[in-house]
Structure 1
Amino acid sequence: MKTWKKIVAAAGAAGLALSLAACGGSSAGDNNKLIVGASPDPHAKILRYVADNLAKKQGIELEVKEYTDYVQPNEALNSGDLDANYYQTVPYFDDQTTKNNWQFDHGKGIHLEPLGIYSEKLKDIKELQDGAKIGIINDPTNQARALKLLADNGLIKLPKDEKQQKVSVIAKSKEYNPRGFELPEVEGPQLVRALADLDIAVINGNFAQLGGKKPSEALILESTKNNPALNILVWKKDSEKVEAIKKLDALLHSPEVKAFIEKEWADKAVLPGF
C-alpha cells in the first residue's frame, strides 16, 4: 500500500514538473508575441505590413489593436493590456508621461504626417500680404507645431520661452508678429472649410485629407529633418518583452518599411522619418 502511494506521489510530482515546464515554455514563447495599439491610419497599416512580411523572420508575432482616440492606448499600455503602442509624437509622450508618472520608454522617430500651409486664394506663399488671416489649430500640441512651421518660413518669430509660444502671445506682439497677421484659432476638422475666409491655414495632414486636400496642393509642407513630431513606438521600461519590442522597433526603421511608406503614400501624406 505504501509502495502504491509512493508511485502515485511520484507520478503526481512528475506531472506537476511537466506542467510547470510547459508553462515555462509557453511563457517564453509569449515573450515573442506582441500586442501593439495603434491609430488606424497610417500606424496600423504599417504594423500590419511588418506583421505580414517581416516579423516572422525575426521570430516575433504581432497582434494589432486599433484605437481612434489619443488617451486609451497609453492607459492600456500602463495597465498591461498592450505591450507597446505606436501613435504618438515625442512632445505628446513627454507631456503625458510627466503628467501621469508613467514609466515608459520609446524608440526613434518612424514617420511624419506633415503639416501643410494651404490656401484657396494664393498660389505662392510670397503672395501673402501683411495683415493677412492665417488659420491656426486650437489644439495646444499641434498649435506649437503650426507656429514653428510659420516661424521656420519667416512669417512670424517664436519667443525663446516655450511657454510663451502661443497664438495669444504672438498675435498681439510686434516683436513676434511684425507683419501684423491675424491668427484666428480654429478647430482642426474645420480648418479646410475655413479656408474660404482665410488667406492661408496651417493644417494637419489627417484633417487636410478629410477635407479633400492633397499634400501636393500645399504651398509649404513640413520637413522630417530634426522634427519632434515624428511618430514613435512606445513601451514600458520594465517590460519582460523588451527584446522582442526592440526587434519590432528595428523593423519599423528598416529599408523595407521605408519603401512601403514611400509607395503606399506616394502623395507624401506620410513621410518616412529615417
Structure 2
Amino acid sequence: MKFNRRFFLIAVSAFSASVIFSSCAPSPQNAAPTSSVEASEFSEPLKLSVTPVPAGEILAFVRDNIAPEAGLTIEILEFNDFNQPNLALKEGAVDANYYQHIPFMQDFSKQHDMDLIALNPVHFNPLGAFSNRISSLSELQDGATISIPNDVTNGSRALRLLEDEGLITLREGTDELATSADIAENPKNLRLLEIEAPSLLRSLDDVDVAIITGNFLVQAGLNTKEDAIALEEAGDEARFAVRLATLRGNEDDPRIQKLNELLHDPRVREFINEKYQGAVVPVF
C-alpha cells in the first residue's frame, strides 16, 4: 500500500503539471478545425505515460499538430525511468504508453504479472558504444571497464554489440536474451558493470566505455550516429522499435486505434528525421 500511495502522489503531481502545460500550450496554427462528429467520437482524453526523449517529444508533436484534426485529446505523463510508464498503466493512471520495444515489454510483463500488447512500430533508438577515453574499441586495454544497461533486453543488445566487435564470445546456443552469464570467452578480461539505463551517460567519466540506447543520448544533446565509437548492426529495427502499448483487452479502444494510426502520419516521419538527424529512426 505504501507503493500505491506514493505512486499516486507522484503520478497526480506529474500528471497535473502535464495537463496544465497542455492547456497553456498555443493552438497549432495549421490545425484543421475539429468537427462535432469527431469530437463526440472521442469524448474522453487519451492518457499516456512516456519517457521524455524522444518518445515524449514525438507524442507531444502528435498531440499539438495532428490529434486535434482527428478530434482526439491527448494527455501526457512523463517518467525518467523504464519501469514507471508500465506501472502507471498497471495502476490505471493512464490508458496506454509509448516508450518500449517488444522484448522489453515481454520481459516486463513476465516480471510484473502484466498482460501487455504492442501495436505498430514507430521509431527505433539505435544502441551504441561511447567513451570519453578512447576513440575506438580496439584501444581497450586488458581489464577495461564497460557499463551496460541492467535491463535484460537492452543488456542483451549490449552484449551482442561487444560480440560483433570481437571483444567477447557468447556460448553456443545462447537464448535470444543473453546475459553476462552467457559469456564464454572474454580475452581482454573486460569488467562489465550493469547499471540502470538513465545512469549510463553519467557513468562515462568513470568507465572506459558505456553502451547506451539512443534515447538517452538525444536527451543529452548528443547524436548516436555521429558520437558513437561503435553501433549495433542493422537488422533488428522492427523488433526493437518503440511502439504504442496497452493492457490486453484495451487495444480496440477507438482512441488507442486512432493514435496508433496518427503515429504513422507522414508528418511524424518528417518530424523525426528533421529533429533527430539519424539519431532516432522512423520505421514506417
TM-score by length of 2: 0.71
Aligned-pair CA distance for 1:134: 5.0
Percent of aligned positions with the same letter in both sequences? 30
Say whether 1:182 aligns with 2:190: yes
TM-score by length of 1: 0.73
Q: Compute the RMSD of aligned alpha carbons.
A: 3.1
Call closer, same or farther: CA 1:104–1:168 in 2, change over 3 Å. Answer: closer
Aligned-pair CA distance for 1:108: 2.8
Say whether 1:194 aligns with 2:206: yes
Say whether 1:218 aligns with 2:228: yes
Supply the distance in 2 between the matched residues of 1:118 and 1:236 (Cα, whole angstroms): 35
Q: Deviations over 1:72-128 (max 9, x none)?
A: 322332343311111222122111222333232211322222221223454444x44
Gaps of 5+ in 2: 1-36
Call closer, same or farther: CA 1:209–1:106 in 2, change over 3 Å. Answer: closer
Q: 2:264 aligns with which of 241, 244, 253?
A: 253
The answer (yes or no) to whether the contact 1:137–1:191 under 8 Å persists in 2 is no
Match of 2:151 in 1: 140
Match of 2:276 in 1: 265
Return the index of the structure with the highest Cα Rg.
1
Matches within 5 A, 1:14-163: 29-30=41-42, 33-125=45-137, 127-128=138-139, 131=142, 133=144, 135-137=146-148, 139-141=150-152, 142-159=154-171, 160-162=173-175
Residue aligned with 2:49, SS: strand
Say whether 1:165 aligns with 2:178: yes
Aligned-pair CA distance for 1:223: 5.0
Supply the distance in 2 between the matched residues of 1:231 and 1:251 (Cα, whole angstroms): 15
Amino acid in structure 2 at the alignment position of 1:218: A
Supply the distance in 2 between the matched residues of 1:235 and 1:164 (Cα, whole angstroms): 23
How many pairs does the alignment contain?
239
Residue aligned with 1:180, SS: coil
Q: Deviations over 1:7-30 (max 9, x none)?
A: xxxxxxxxxxxxxxxxxx9x9644
The answer (yes or no) to whether the contact 1:136–1:201 under 8 Å persists in 2 is yes
Match of 2:247 in 1: 236
